[in-house]
Amino acid sequence: MTLPPLLIVTDRHGAARPLTETVRAAVAGGARFVWLRDRDLDRDARRDLARDLTALLEPVGGRLVVGGDADLAAETGAQGVHLPGSTGIDGIRAARTALGAAALIGFSAHSIAEIAAAAAAGADYATLSPIFPTASKPGYGPALGLDSLRAAAVHGVPVFALGGIDGGNARACREAGAAGVAVMGGVMRGSDPRDATGRFVAALT
C-alpha cells in the first residue's frame, strides 16, 4: 500500500480558523492524508467533524484516519483509525477485526521495539516520535533523531516521522528511510495552511 508522504495531524486549539477550514486549505495545498486527533471533543462533535473532513478528502481521493476510535471511523466512513501506543498489539488486531482488511490501521510508536510490534500485528503504518525536539511531545523523552528512522525502516511497515518536523528537515526524514512525515503545528498554526502544505508536499516529492 502506497500512502501519501504527508500526514496532516489536526489540532483545532492551534488553528487560527475553524478546523474544517484549515483542513480545506491544506487539501487545496495538496494534503491527501489526515489524522483527526482532537480527542477532547465530545463524540457527537467529533463524529460531525469526521464526516466533514471525509467529505473534503473524498473528491481528491484522500484518506482520513480517526484517532483512537475504530467505531467512530466505521460510523463516519473514514478510511481507518490511528491508535495510541497504549492500545498495544491487541488494539491493532481488534481494530482490524472491527474495520476489515481494507481499512487503514495506524499506530503511534515511540521506540523501534514498538515499530517492530506494530508491524508484526499487521499495522498499515506507524508514526515514530519525537524525531526532533518539539513542544507538542514533551513527555516522550529525548528526540530519537534520524538514525531511529533508518532502524525503523527495516521492519517493513511504513513509518512517518513525527515531532519537530519543518520544511528544513522533512526531506532528510525521507532520505533516512521514512515513508513520510506527520505534521501538526507546521500546518495547523500557520497563517497560510495551503501554502505551508504545498511547501511540505514539494519537499517530500
How many angstroms separate the first and last alpha carbons of the chain? Answer: 17
Question: Residue 59: is the preceding peptide bond cis (ω within 30°)?
Answer: no
What's the confidence (pLDDT) of residue 185? 92
Residue with cell 523501534: 112
What's the confidence (pLDDT) of residue 140? 63
Single out the residue of 151, 178, 156, 152 nearest to residue 165, CA to CA. 178
**Tens of pLDDT, residues 37-67:** 999 999 999 999 999 999 999 999 999 999 9
Mean pLDDT of the chain: 94
What's the confidence (pLDDT) of residue 138? 57
What's the confidence (pLDDT) of residue 64? 98
Q: How remote is the C-alpha of 70 from its chain's centroid?
A: 15
**Tens of pLDDT, residues 118-133:** 999 999 999 999 999 9
What's the confidence (pLDDT) of residue 58? 97
Q: What is the mean pLDDT of residues 74-92?
A: 94
Residue 11 pLDDT greater than 60, yes or no? yes
Per-residue pLDDT band at 15 (split at 50, 70, 90): confident
Give me the sign of the Cα torsion angle 50, 83, 106, 122: negative
Per-residue pLDDT band at 192 (split at 50, 70, 90): very high
Residue with cell 478510511: 79
**Tens of pLDDT, residues 131-163:** 999 876 556 678 999 999 999 999 999 999 999
| 8 Å CB contact between 39 and 67 | yes
What's the confidence (pLDDT) of residue 35? 98
